[in-house]
Amino acid sequence: MVGRKICTAIRHVAFEDLGSFETAFIEAGYEVRYVDVGLDDLDAIAPTASDLLVVLGGPIGVYEQDRYPFLKAELRLIGARLQARRPTIGVCLGAQLMASALGSKVYPCLEKEIGFARMSLTPEGRGSCLSAFEHIPVLHWHGDTFDLPAGAVRLASTKACLNQAFALGREIIGFQFHPEAGAQGFERWLIGHAVELGAAGVDVSSLRETHLSLAVEQQTDASKQLRSDAVRDAIHDLRAVL
């Protein structure tokens, strides 16, 4: 379609995709294109070409560049895009990569945060696109965190993680949590992260049951609308500058 906007999503593992965001982006008029790390050449991507870049999650650390050399190319790409202030969303590892590219330190948390829980929004968060998430249990799945980038505004926190979301102007937003994770495909997470779950001592059955319980709650018309509004509002600010 002539004039259709492009959303490029950098995907590190197949099951951590755009999730519920994908439909929202398509409905908003974007063509979604995935770049799969390990298969596609990150150096071949023009940093500012896409109308929107989404950097997704993955089970590695930003500081593991010796083990995973592609991180250097990915940081160059993200850094060039952020410097140009092009619309960018980061999720989990993606947010950590963005923070690192902006000059902040990324490091292990005191404890892993895996499971569903609500966040505490800052005053800025309540006035932002995250307001729709304030009363929704969201998925947390990370072992690293980051310092707030210079000039950025903190939007949300949990007890275990001070920086759950940040914004830098109208073009850049990072989520440490997983706002894209919906009801579909969660079992793939339990399989793909089996080693991590075992090492962290997480009760997989309990995690699955919590997910199923929340999924059932979200089947009501009111909850479906709330979730839809949350996804819509989470991309609203960025859409305004696209």
Query: Which band of pLDDT confidence, cut at 50, 70 and 90, is reported for residue 183?
Result: low
Walk me through the domains of the chain, giving residue ranges and CATH numbers: 5-239 (3.40.50.880)
Whether residue 136 has pLDDT greater than 50: yes
Q: Which amino acid is at 8?
A: T
pLDDT tens digits, 211-226: 988 876 655 444 444 5
Whether residue 172 has pLDDT greater than 90: yes
Mean of all residue pLDDT scores within the chain: 89
Whether residue 20 has pLDDT greater than 90: no
Whether residue 239 has pLDDT greater than 60: no
pLDDT tens digits, 106-125: 999 998 999 999 999 999 99
